[in-house]
Amino acid sequence: MEFPANVVIAWIGQYLWALTRVAAMLMVLASFGGKSVPTRVRLLLALAITFALVPVLPEVTGIEVFSFQAIIVILQQVLIGAAIGFISQLLMQTFVVGGQIIAMQTSLGFASMVDPNNGQSTPVVGQFYLLLATLLFLAIDGHLQLITLIAMSFETIPVGMSGLSSLDYQLLAGWYSQLFLAALALSISSVVAMLLVNFSFGIMTRAAPQLNIFSIGFAVSMLFGLFILWLTIGGFLAHFERQWEVGRSLACDMLLIGC
């Protein structure tokens, strides 16, 4: 059985466009795009998703695989997939920043460990919050929801010369500011509680100057910090659900999908 060259090239193109968009999302997707996940694993996962999606995707015509137009199309698919995956990264970094704020205020910032995703040392509290956020992200099937959105995006944003608009990138950049707002909302109760503790130390120092507050203040701040973490950890789920809904709505708006 023989296949003409143009049929084979068109068949390759159908898989190439889908693979580019899916692989770009997996490249930056939270819990899948880190250094801890081997590149071959991400590639095999992208291939598996692509082979499952292509039979139900609309056919792409009018684009030559070996042409300058194909390069532009590939860049558009990379930008679409990377933008959706980047939303999940911003979601996770919200809790890393919140944990770092709490660590700095509770004298727990000296305890740090290497982040396997970026290879830099970050406070343990931030890594703990990142671990909780990652587990919740996988528990609610956040990765599967984003894969579903990227599959639906082939209907709303077909493969072609046009991709995301400048307004979509503006929305993504604007949501970046929400990262610090959400991190502050997560850590504000701990910051206020530690402010009261430090204020009490100040009153003790003023009332009894002969007491060496600095020798015991560090240890007491750590104990209060751990106690405050225990009291505030109950609100972590509510913060995560709120941020995930905002991030998912942003992805739906960018991909022109009604959610």
Report the b/e string of 131-168 with b at 16+ CB within 10 A. Answer: ebbbebbeeeebbebbbebbbbbbeebebeeebbeeeb
- pLDDT at res. 23: 92
- The whole-angstrom separation of Cα 222 and Cα 200 is 15
Q: Is residue 259 part of a domain?
A: no
Assess if residue 118 is contained within a domain: yes
pTM, entire model: 0.84
Q: Rounded to whole angstroms, how far apart are CA atoms 45 and 202?
A: 57
What burial class does residue 207 get, using C-beta atoms within 10 Å of its C-beta: 0-12 exposed, 13-18 middle, 19+ buried?
A: exposed
What pLDDT sits at residue 24?
92
H or E stretch at 3: none
Would you say residue 114 has pLDDT above 70?
no
Range of 100's domain?
A: 5-254
22-45 per-position pLDDT tens digit = 999 999 888 888 777 888 888 899
| pLDDT exceeds cutoff 80 at 88 | yes
What length is written for the chain?
259
pLDDT digits (tens, 9 = 90+) for 205-257: 777 666 666 667 677 777 888 888 888 888 888 889 999 998 899 888 888 88
Radius of gyration, CA atoms only, the chain: 24
**178-189: per-residue pLDDT in tens?**
888 888 888 888
Distances (CA, A) of 31 to 21, 93, 105, 145, 196: 18, 12, 28, 14, 37
Secondary structure of 150-169 in HEC code, one letter for each residue: HHHHHHHCCCCCCCCCHHHH
Total of domains in the chain: 1
pLDDT value, residue 214? 64
Summarised one tens digit per residue, pLDDT across range 115-149 is 656 566 677 788 888 889 989 999 998 889 999 99
CB atoms within 10 A of CB 259: 13
pLDDT of residue 25: 92
Q: Are 248 and 145 in contact (CB under 8 A)?
A: yes
